Amino acid sequence: MGWNACLRLLSQQPKRCSVLKSLSLKQYSSQVPRLKPYVSKKKSAPSGYVLLIIPITTFGLGTWQVRRREWKLDLIKMLEDRTMAEPISLPEDLEELENLEYRRIRVKGRFMHKDEFTIAPRSNFVEDFDPKLVNRDAVKKVGMNVITPFKLSDRDIIIMVNRGWIPMKKKYPVTRLEGQIEDEVEIVGVVRHSDPPRMMTPTNDPKTHGYWMLRDIEAMAGASGSSPVFIDADIHSTVPGGPLGGQTKITLRNEHLTYIFTWYTLSAITAWMWYRMFRRPPPPQRPADIVFNSRKFS
């Protein structure tokens, strides 16, 4: 390389440095961290505020379900306490029973076995019982509840008593004559109301099926000539050879935990989507910019 070529190369070197410095300053100015997060231009659109309603609403629904669950648990506890309270007499005004579901009452009278009917299919709800009353192997199978009209001794009315659970093979009274007591008895039972309609359960048709599928107190009372009063006899009312009493189970729909999870999950997802669409952090610095920054201020 001659002297002229060397001189030309040296004369061009400052220009290259100047160009590189200019480019680096431009890149640095565009990459320097901002104090505030980058806000998308979409934020100014009205749709941004409209979409923000979704996570707020779903969060509110989740919080509402939390309160509903607390209310439902308190209600279940109250009804369970009713089943454990001391029994009372049957009210003179039968309309008072509307507010006494799951309340224990004491009645005295005689069973009218010839008019009994059944509700099926039913599972046994009693786990701790005297094996002399019912075979333990039998209670593991699906059976039915025996409903018997009960003529009160102190009043001229007939009520319906769910005497308890029996296996299917004991469907006919002739198979359990020992439990068909004829004497006057005093029993304690839990007041029950009609079952709510169920989508998957066929309509009651006892003439076709030979049994009821749901507890419909008004219809059962009309068919059996009883007053619209229905009680579940407790376990202590069970007699040898008869149905197994105590078939009361408090069943209130309580799916609030599922709803809580669903609404809060939707709230979190939609809030994240809104943030990604309308707000996002600035692009990260590149290593070259950090190096240039450190050299500039050193």
Which range has highest mean pLDDT (10-19, 45-54, 195-204, 257-266)? 257-266
- Looking at residue 111, its pLDDT comes to 98
The reported pLDDT for the residue numbered 294 is 52
The answer to whether residues 244 and 133 touch, using CB atoms and an 8 Å cutoff, is: yes
Mean pLDDT throughout 244-261?
Answer: 86
Please name which of 92, 80, 88, 85 lies closest in space to residue 105, comparing C-alpha atoms: 88
- Provide the residue type at 290 as one letter: I
Quote the pTM value. Answer: 0.68
- Residue 192 sits at the vertex; the CA angle it makes with 195 and 87, to the nearest 5 degrees, is 165
Where residue 35 falls (left for φ over 0; alpha for ψ -120 to 50; beta otherwise) is alpha
Question: Counting Cβ atoms within 10 Å, is residue 138 exposed (0-12), middle (13-18) or buried (19+)?
Answer: middle
Torsion of CA 129, 167, 175, 152, to 10 degrees: 70
* Tokens found for residue 270: 């939609």
Query: Which token pair is 134?
Result: 């019912």
Give domain limits for the chain. 48-86+252-278, 103-237
Cα–Cα distance measured from residue 242 to residue 180, given in angstroms and rounded to the nearest whole number: 7
CB 246 within 8 A of CB 235: yes
Confidence of residue 202 (pLDDT cuts 50, 70, 90): confident
Is the pLDDT confidence value at 72 over 50?
Answer: yes
Report the share of the chain in percent with pLDDT over 70.
73
